[in-house]
Amino acid sequence: MRGVRCQRCSHMFTLARDLVVTALEEIETKGEEYYTLECPRCRHAIKVPRRQLERMRPRES
């Protein structure tokens, strides 16, 4: 699992696997290139690119 870093407070956190899957589904339905989420520490909006989420996608077994 890869981490996401807040640009404002530099807090590093990871996204849960189910959140990554739902974020990718939401991006595909809306046709967007970024998924926006809030930093758990400072609540600053963070844009996570689609490519980064694709790399975080859990492997199918």
47-52 mean pLDDT = 96
Summary mean pLDDT of the chain: 93
In the DSSP assignment, the letter for residue 33 is S
Domain annotation covers residue 48: yes
pLDDT over threshold 80, residue 40: yes
Q: How far apart are CA 56 and CA 20, in angstroms?
A: 7
State the total domains in the chain: 1
pLDDT bucket at 2, cuts 50 / 70 / 90 = confident
What whole-number percentage of the chain has pLDDT above 90? 85
16-44 mean pLDDT = 95
Side chain identity at residue 29, one-letter code: T
Task: Give the predicted TM-score (pTM) of the model.
Answer: 0.83
Whether the CB-CB separation of 36 and 47 falls below 8 Å is answered with: yes
Q: How far apart are CA 54 and CA 2, in angstroms?
A: 11
Domain annotation covers residue 38: yes
Q: How far apart are CA 59 and CA 61, in angstroms?
A: 6
| Range of the structural domain that residue 31 is part of | 3-56
Domain annotation covers residue 61: no
Compute φ and ψ for 28, nearest 5 degrees.
Answer: -65, -40
